[in-house]
Amino acid sequence: MFPNETVHDVIVIGGGNAGLCAALRAREMVADVVIVEKAPELKKGGNSFFTGGRMRVPHGEIDDVANLIGADVGELENIDIEPYPQEQFHQDLQRASRFRCDEALAKLISARARPGVEWLKSVGARFELALGHDDIRSGSKTKLIGGDDIQHYEGGPGLVANLVARAAASGIRLHYQTAATRLLLGPGGVEGVVVRSPRGETGLRARAVILACGGFEASPHLRNAYLGPGWDLAKVRGTEFNTGDGLMMAIDIGARPFGHWGGCHSVAADYFAPEFGDRVHGDIAERVSFRFGITVDRGGRRYFDEGADLRAFTYAISGRNIIESADGFAVQIVDAKTVDMLRSTYRSHNVTKVVSDDLRVIATELDVDADNLAATIEEFNNAIQDGELDFARLDGKSTTGIAPRKSNWALPIDTPPYTGFPVAPAITFTFGGVKTSPRAEVLDQEDKPIPGLYAAGEMVGGIYYHNYPGGSGLVSGLVLGLVAGESAADRARGLTEAA
């Protein structure tokens, strides 16, 4: 199986944010680090490439934010941003998961998020404020809301490009079109991995292996098996290569499945979005500004609370709502009062929409029951309560006497022209993974570490249940990648010294 006697210090499986961070951190401690990546080089970066690069990071007042992104305080004089303490990040992880988030992981991610971003900056990362998405104009200032306040320069593509360049400069070998197929066990635990490439199948030996190759979101079969009926038809926002290989390999050697295997991050997207992420135009298909209007199913009826919370805490369940409550198809409707407040993706390349002064025309064009839609909007408009509208906060301006209610930002749909956007579910990543220790060691069914095996990124279960706070995915991948890199390198050094 082994073509030679080379034993690498660390092999990382997966070349996205978590894998690259793990490899770079390990390389700071040991000499021989290899990344194997299933995708071809032209499709590098995993799901990380398709993100907007947003990160949820603890910070203080505006001067601390300026320091975080490397700007002068004077450059931010027209920005209104509230402090986001570490304790709030921890609370948001727990609140979004209905307090099921593994407490050790919640503490680890929230505590190491800021140091992790500072480390990213030390390896060339550049950050900026996440403007043009959820920010609201308030008087003379632009107010950022939601807590996911910064983003990597040039988004996910910029993040991946910087990490890949840094890996190459550090002497890390990155093998593309090299899919890991199974882990190799020996007397001391995991001792390597079998890989398949255009050159055939071979085995690679290592003192430590890190799994950072994503969830099973790109596998229709596994989605249907674990998430349930209808999920096999969902669009995939990111890479087509995250098909659960690493999870299955780990479970095959006794790793403990952990977390919410029936849960995922999924959003409302353009009904005619491509089957996988768009590498040219980016994530232009998402449609998550539903709080500015109403959303109806094919029968013309509302089916969820569009104003339950700020976008950062609701967008990641909007795709699940479409599958579970709208049979896979819905229409978002706004009027002239709010159409210009929608995120920029509603005005980008290949947007599917119908605009008309007549709501019945929109219903007919989008195959929605016109009579029910008219009745739904009349009922909704009549149910709106008085109150001060403020899109920068939970304003309590709600409906009453109808179900579902709209808890905040309830405005009548009464000002033409109206716009209807047909939407379908698009999956980002799955929540189920393997159980790990705080040192990123993969645990077996008895919660004992499997020697030589570590995990980071989407591979790790127990972080997200039901929902997801925006901007926390790249941060958790960063933090757990650094921890996995450190732990794997520690093992490799120990084995080398003992030899």
Which pLDDT tens digit goes with each residue over 29-70?
Answer: 999 999 999 999 999 999 999 999 999 999 999 999 999 999
Q: Give phi and psi for 31, each to the nearest 5.
A: -90, -35
d(CA 413, CA 381): 7
Query: What SS3 state is found at 121?
Result: helix
Across 162-173, average pLDDT: 98
The CATH H-level (homologous superfamily) assignment of domain 7-217+431-498 is FAD/NAD(P)-binding domain (3.50.50.60)
pLDDT on residue 491: 98
pLDDT tens by residue, 284-307: 899 999 999 999 999 999 999 999
The CATH-assigned architecture of domain 267-426 is: Alpha-Beta Complex (3.90)
pLDDT on residue 1: 40
d(CA 264, CA 428): 7
Sequence ranges of the chain with CATH classification 3.50.50.60? 7-217+431-498
Q: DSSP class of residue 448?
A: -
Q: Check pLDDT > 70 for residue 4.
A: no
pLDDT on residue 363: 98
